[in-house]
Structure 1
Amino acid sequence: MSRLSRPGLWYLFDYGMVISTEPEPADWKALHRATGLDLEPAGSPYWARREDFDAGADSPEQYWTGVLGWAPGPEQLRKLEDLDAAAWSHLNPKTLSVLETLQKEGASLALLSNMPAEMSRRYTAESEWPRYFSRLYFSGQLGLMKPDPQIFDHVAAGLKARPEDVVFIDDNALNIAAAEKLGFQTVLHTGTIDLRAELARRAR
């Protein structure tokens, strides 16, 4: 079987839509029941206010107050945070298989995700997937988010790696373009990609 990794490289993964899949219809229905709002459409307040939440500018209370139009109480806030975390917890088995192989090969693995701080702390404490990574970088904790070049510079410095020695896998074309401009190797993770084949091709 072909190797997926090359010695000396870091493999830097995004989380949402790479390691995780998109929220399922049942997740949006649960949020609908909890809020009375249809939050799935792109123009909904869930998405309109998400950037500040992901960047660490808004606390959970500030974010959900903006989404709802009124401040939730502590119990409802906990419920909304639970539902939000559950919505993004569905994992892509193909990506997990690739991570398993990379780990067995001894590859250097890191993660860079635009994710609210509390959600990232929850996943780090409770989920299994962080075990694949020796470095975890989250926008909400850093106060920086993709595609800002500063977050890529921060990660490269933390990894003690030259950008050209980092393979960045992400589903967002803007993030990919920003990383490429800085010299990172990149893989755009689309819904049809064969990530195993793509990494094997690059490892030759």
Structure 2
Amino acid sequence: MATLTPGPQWYLFDYGMVISTAPEEADWQVLEEAAGLNLRQTDSAYWLHRLQYDEGRLSSRDYWTRVVGSAVSEGRAMELDSLDAIQWSHLNLDTLDVLDLLSSRTAELAVLSNMPLAMADEFSSAAWTRYFSQCFYSSRIGKVKPDPGAFQHVLSALNADPAAIVFIDDKAENIAAAKALGMTTVHHVPGTDLLRELGL
């Protein structure tokens, strides 16, 4: 269980695999059919170029051109972006329960997610965003986790001390980076009881 510091707190949530669940088999199938190749393997072009896309260094067309291996039109890039957003849109109901509880206690909530601009735009009015007063997306700040610069951007924007932030993320390297800056961290892996970890 995380040892929480007293006083005002920011709860800083990752999106993928924390607020959302993993893409489902059917989602991958639809996206792979549209792209014309297998994408879900960890060594696929989808993942190989993902951090550059998340960081905003690749446009949608540039990213999907690299993924597919041939030039794509603006329309096709938009279609693939839409299907990609759909597969990451399934919400973790247990996390939503935690967000409901924290929100009822008027806790300060923010998101820090590695997310391409097209997906950030797609989710800008999603129902889950109502819980958060601030949403930080890598493509908009030009830094991806675990780069300390991503966390420094959040600290500056929130005008918060690291010790006043509880960071929840599924990736060990992101947890390590946040912890090195002095944040309290919760490593959210399958089976994590977030209510218990946060002492709620």
Range class of TM-score, shorter chain = over 0.9
Identity value in percent? 49
| Amino acid paired to 2:48 | A
What TM-score do you get using the length of structure 1 for normalisation?
A: 0.93
**C-alpha distance after superposition, 1:157-198 (max 9, x if no partner):** 111110000000000000000011110110000101100111
Q: In structure 2, what is the equivalent of residue 128 of structure 1? A: 127
Count of aligned pairs: 197
- Correspondence list, 1:87-166, <5 A: 87-125=87-125, 127-166=126-165
Deviation, structure 1 residue 5: 10
Structure 1: which 5+ runs fail to align?
Answer: none
2:194: which partner in 1?
Answer: 195
Distance (whole Å) between structure 1 residues aligned to residue 124 and residue 6 of structure 2: 27
Q: Which runs of no fewer than 5 residues in structure 2 stay unpaired?
A: none
Task: Give the partner amino acid of 2:100.
Answer: E
2:5·2:163 contact (CA, 8 Å) conserved in 1?
Answer: no
* TM-score normalised according to structure 2 size: 0.95
Q: How far apart are 1:33 and its partner, in Å?
A: 1.1
**Do 1:7 and 1:107's aligned partners in 2 also have CA atoms closer than 8 Å?**
no
The separation in 1 between residues aligned to 2:47 and 2:157, in whole angstroms, is: 30
**What letter matches 1:89 in structure 2?**
S
Query: How far 1:75 moved relative to its partner?
Result: 2.6
| C-alpha distance in structure 1 between counterparts of 2:61 and 2:77, whole Å | 7
Contact 2:23 2:88 in 1 (8 A): yes
Large movers: runs of 4+ above 4 Å: 4-7
- Measure how far apart 1:74 and its partner are: 2.8
State the superposition RMSD in angstroms: 1.4
Q: Is the 8 A contact 1:5 1:105 kept in 2?
A: no
In the other structure, the counterpart of 2:25 is 25
